[in-house]
Amino acid sequence: MVDSRLLLLLICSVLGLVSGSSKDLPIISFDEGYSPLFGDANLAILKDGKTVHMSLDERTGSGFISQDLYLHGFFSASIKLPADYTAGVVVAFYMSNADMFEANHDELDFEFLGNIRGKDWRIQTNVYGNGSTNVGREERYHLWFDPSEDFHQYSILWSDNLIIFYVDNVPIREIKRTEAMGGDFPSKPMSLYATIWDGSEWATNGGRYRVNYKYAPYVAEFSNLVLHGCAVDPIEKSPKCDNGPTSKAIIPTGIMPEQRSKMEKFRKTHMTYSYCYDRVRYTVPPSECVVNAQEAERLRRFDPVTFGGRRHHHHGKRHQRNRSSQSEATTI
């Protein structure tokens, strides 16, 4: 069983990060926290031991996985994406337990979707709990920078009742657990993954633009790896909470007003899809959705069919990929 005091300390510690800074958390070397997952020849650990290059070529993609399972915590990496023509390329930074719970897995996703030359990378987030793949909870966004020019930090905060996705310490998405969600809220220990792979069938304009291997290898660079959470023994299922250096500031209970303002600005400016506003898929938004009138109006202008419910428009279902699941992305 979980030591309730340790778990409370951990949750307080990670919630302290909601105020906006993870700079005090320890950065680990690759060997301290991760192991190769696949495509070993395409996985290069630099001399500093803290920077990893993953590549995709005609033979294979590549990826790595955390050595431990985690139940709640703060997880982060600085990532630099491939440049130039990247259509069909998918880079993922995510948590999952699909290998242990095939029929009822949990998952928290950052997926980066490549594009044709002159078009920007897009970022997609998704949440699945207890195998709830029949309820898509994906969102997609453009970024305010070119993620192939430099490293940028992408982070996931996960507690027993709250999930927040961050880009450069700016919260871009918040999911609060509701009673109606039931098991749809991720609640089982998960591993952390990073992968690069060929998503030609769906990733860029619904598969219209595919990976062109004359531009290979496609290299994604990962650094500043943070694993700060309750590690779980896979046999005993007993979490051990790593509190690390905790913040001395007053710990907030949610996103602070300044950060919430930044999140709202980001979503009003850069979000291109949210399941909460998809009138075709959901006549009534799922219980965890907090509908914002300005977000709704912007998306309605962006795509009046999907977000205005003017006529039926089929959205493709998720299909199997080389390790987990994914959502269709159709806008370039």
Catalytic residues: 107, 111
Neighbouring C-alpha atoms within 13 Å toward the C-beta of 210: 6
Answer whether 294's CB lies under 8 Å from 102's CB. Answer: no
- Which of 108, 119, 58 is closest to 83 using CA atoms? 119
Neighbouring C-alpha atoms within 13 Å toward the C-beta of 268: 10
DSSP state of 202: T
CA distances from 78 to 12, 81, 90 (A): 24, 10, 16
For residue 259, the one-letter residue type is Q
For residue 308, the one-letter residue type is G
Taken as a whole, the chain contains a residue count of 332
Q: How far apart are CA 144 and CA 161, in angstroms?
A: 29
* Residue 24 CB contacts under 8 Å (≥ 6 apart), including other chains: 245, 247
